[in-house]
Amino acid sequence: MKILSSFIVCLALSHTVLAQKESLGAVKYTPPKGWTKTQNENAVIFSEINQTTGKFCLITLYGVTASSGAPERDFAGTWNDRVVKILGAEANPKTEAVSAEGWTLTVGGSEIDFQGNKALAFLSVLSGYGKVVSVLGILGDNTYLPQLQAFVRSIEVDKSAALLTPPVIKPALPATQALAGTEPMHAAALVKEFESNEINAIETYRGKRVRIKGTVNSIEIDRAGRIVLTFKSSVTTYGNARCYFPKSQSSRVGALKAHEEATVEGTVRGLGDGFDNTKAFLVLEDCLVP
């Protein structure tokens, strides 16, 4: 809690940003110098990995989406979709908020298990003028806090810009094609293909049956009563794979466990299923456990 209080106090301090700004739609920001950048539709991720010490940090900026009308609901919804479902964090973290000039910044954080390593997840959600912009930081070490704070402080949002139209995922094509390969592909590798070149990945995989493997992050029943398995994310991607199963697979999926390796076969639909229909997951449907 002391780290959270210090984090938001630093965000509230006045500052002058001299570095060159970049843009993500209606959002302007100053990128951390020297970090690796990956651009996706309505999201950009920066990563820093120290190969010598093993310390790492990932900062993901999500572009403008529609506000629920209440900053606390904006934070809760974003935390649930970005951190709980993807990273397995606690559902109700401690939060603090500051308001100025029609904007409210809500910050919350908790410890998480990130690919077998202890890390901190900090989510900053900026709400105002009917819009929401969020920043998720995953820190493998507290020394990255100043860089995360500086990044959040650099953000500027165009108040007058129209909201982005949520991307629409087309229905999956009939699964008439054969299984793509006999050996299972790692879930993170398949996600990476969609994030690196979505057009090519759609042509290659959409509507096809594939077999993927990875470490299970969560297994749950969603509001529609569907069985959902989510694989853990990777330091090289901002999203992860989410698999939907029919009820006939209940016993097979029930034998799987979180944090253990699993292999799943399913029909690739594409990117989607995030908060406000953002492309947070690589979705596979009609899945089964082979």
Q: How many CB atoms lie within 10 A of CB 82?
A: 24
Question: Helices in the chain by DSSP H: which ranges?
Answer: 2-12, 71-79, 85-87, 145-153, 187-196, 198-205, 250-254
pLDDT under 50 in the chain at which residues? 1, 9, 12-18, 162-181
* pTM of the entire predicted model: 0.58
Nearest to 278 by CA among 71, 78, 27: 78
- Looking at residue 275, its pLDDT comes to 65
- Looking at residue 241, its pLDDT comes to 92
Residue extent(s) of CATH 3.40.1000.10 domains in the chain? 2-157
The β-bridge relationship of strands 240-245 and 281-288 is: parallel
CATH of 185-288, one of 2.40.30.10, 3.40.720.10, 1.10.10.10, 2.40.50.140: 2.40.50.140
d(CA 108, CA 7): 10
Nearest to 24 by CA among 135, 139, 145: 135
Q: Could you read off the pLDDT of 65-96 as tens digits, one per residue?
A: 999 989 999 999 999 888 888 888 888 898 98
d(CA 118, CA 125): 23
d(CA 137, CA 59): 4
If DSSP states are collapsed to H, E and C, what string results for 170-227?
CCCCCCCECCCCCCCEEHHHHHHHHHHCHHHHHHHHCCEEEEEEEEEEEEEECCCCCE
| Architecture per CATH, 2-157 | 3-Layer(aba) Sandwich (3.40)
Q: How many CB atoms lie within 10 A of CB 193?
A: 16
- Looking at residue 175, its pLDDT comes to 35
- Looking at residue 3, its pLDDT comes to 53
Query: Can you give the length of the chain in residues?
Result: 290
- Looking at residue 85, its pLDDT comes to 83
d(CA 165, CA 48): 31
Residue extent(s) of CATH 2.40.50.140 domains in the chain? 185-288
